[in-house]
Amino acid sequence: MKEKLKQMLTHNLTLKILSVILAVFTWLIMVNVSNPMMTVTQTVPVEFTNADVLTEAGLTYEPVGRNSVTVSYKIHVRDEARVTASDFAAYADLAQLYDVTGAIPVQAEPSSYMARLLVVSGSVSVSPAVVRIQTEPIQTKTFALGVRTVGDEAEEYDLGGIELTPARISVTGAESVIGQISSLGVEIDVEGIDTDITGEAPVCFYDANGNLLDLGDKVQLSEQQVSYRVTVLRVEDLTLDFIVSGTVAPGYRFTGVESDVRSISVVGPRASLADMTSLTISGDILDIDGAAGDMVVEVDLNAFLPDNISLVADQPSVVTVTMHVERLETRQYEFRLDRVEFLGRNPDYEYTFAEQALILQIRGLSEDLDTIDAGSIRITADLTGLEPGEHQIVLNAELKDGFDYIGPTALRVSIADVSAGTDSTDADGNPSHESDGADRTGENSRQSDGAGGAGESSRHADSADGSGESSRQADGADGAGESSRQADGADGNGEISRQADSADAAAETEAGGETESQSD
């Protein structure tokens, strides 16, 4: 059977192929000559007209189901390829809306000259014949525009501000659609920028979670594009400089200030930041007047920044500042007198001090007082110009910073003139002794030395011209012929004077009580 079928197909094969080709060619000739009619279908989107009818009623619409129809028409076979779906228009007139079902009749017709010319008139039909819509109230809502930046600006730069025009946009649409919108904004690419930029960007819609919404033509905007200007500022790190004012309570000392933030990052114009390396914090907020312990305050840095400089976005604006105030202690230290530096000593004087060691009182912080020793203390006293006698001299102390010298502030000293008993010879080779009297001619004087000559009396006989004049001088109120005794004392005056009585004067006479006589 198979062999018989194979023989039938292959017998006169060439003739059979030629017959098929001839049949096709004959059909093409007949079709082109006769050009018969054919029915063609196209899918055409529905266009809604007279939307203002619903708008005036405060309503908007949304198609339910398909938003397109199938258009059928008749055309000659040879013209089929010359007409497409775009050559037809399907209309749904909203003025013909049937409110109960939301159905609107659909009409279709050729919209291009070629279609009207080639499509058989009256052959156009539509399926389905109606479309349905859902209406709901229209809502208009105005949103403030936000900004989302994409990328990072250049290193050591920050965005100073972004200006949008307009800053607010109104959105109109169905209540259900408007309800999906949480915010509006624009997205700006700032990758690597180090200078100001300008441009335009489309409006974006975001839901409550910040996700981008694609609403298409479901809403109408008051503005489709938004202009923007991005300002780029310089970033600078500033140290915080705290200036504390006021005086702490007696017995306390301000020891320093501490902050939980020591430096901040700020942004501003290059010119304003060119000379800034620190931010000064001062004023009443850092006043420690009368403080007797640590003070802790909260400082708002924004109050101390210039108007055109601000903190970077992630920088805290409030810092905690602690001003440390510690109690002072007073301790005593023994200081040998031989370590005192006495200035202005007179080599002719002998100095005797009431103390052989000083008990110094020094005030400071406890931990600082632990480090002090005698080698770090310098005590000086000035003896310049002091005469023999007793004196109170001022002690001056030099200490390291951070210490206060309390006392003692003075020291008692006795000064004696050790050169007062030195003898000398007059011009004639006669020995002479110093006398405290103003007139030494014919004077008998008695001197006493404070160093050890107390009680010593001396006589001085003067023969001026060899006339045998004898003179005798007694101690009187007027001081003439005075016998004096001097002694160094300890009462502060340094001198005790004693007057010779009349018995001493009588003993000094050379003629057994005779009175003074003079010869011409």
Which pLDDT score is estimated for 518? 33
Q: What is the pLDDT of residue 452?
A: 34
Is residue 415 within 8 A of residue 391, CB to CB? The reply is: yes
- Using a 10 angstrom Cβ sphere, with 0-12 exposed, 13-18 middle and 19 or more buried, the burial of residue 176 is middle
Which range among 86-90, 125-129, 194-198, 369-373 shows the weakest confidence by mean pLDDT?
369-373
Strands (E), 263-388: 263-268, 278-281, 295-300, 310-311, 318-327, 329-336, 341-343, 349-353, 357-364, 378-382
What confidence tier does 152 reach under pLDDT thresholds 50, 70, 90?
A: confident
Q: What is the pLDDT of residue 31?
A: 61
Distances (CA, A) of 369 to 170, 326, 380, 402, 407: 75, 13, 21, 9, 16
For residue 421, name the pLDDT band (cuts at 50, 70, 90).
low
What does the pLDDT look like over 214-259, one tens digit per residue? 998 889 999 999 999 998 888 888 999 999 999 999 989 998 999 9
What are the residue boundaries of the structural domains of the chain, listed by start?
A: 34-128, 138-233, 243-260+278-327, 329-417
pLDDT for the residue numbered 79: 87
Model confidence band, residue 355 (pLDDT cutoffs 50, 70, 90): confident
Q: Which has more pLDDT, 208 or 401? A: 208
When the candidates are 2.170.120.40, 3.40.630.30, 1.10.760.10, 3.40.190.10, the CATH number that belongs to 138-233 is 2.170.120.40
Q: State the architecture of 329-417 in CATH terms.
A: Beta Complex (2.170)
Cα separation of 268 and 160, whole Å?
7
Question: CATH topology of 138-233 equal to that of 329-417?
Answer: yes
pLDDT attached to residue 13 = 75
CA distance 438 to 472: 16
For residue 132, pLDDT over 80 is answered with yes
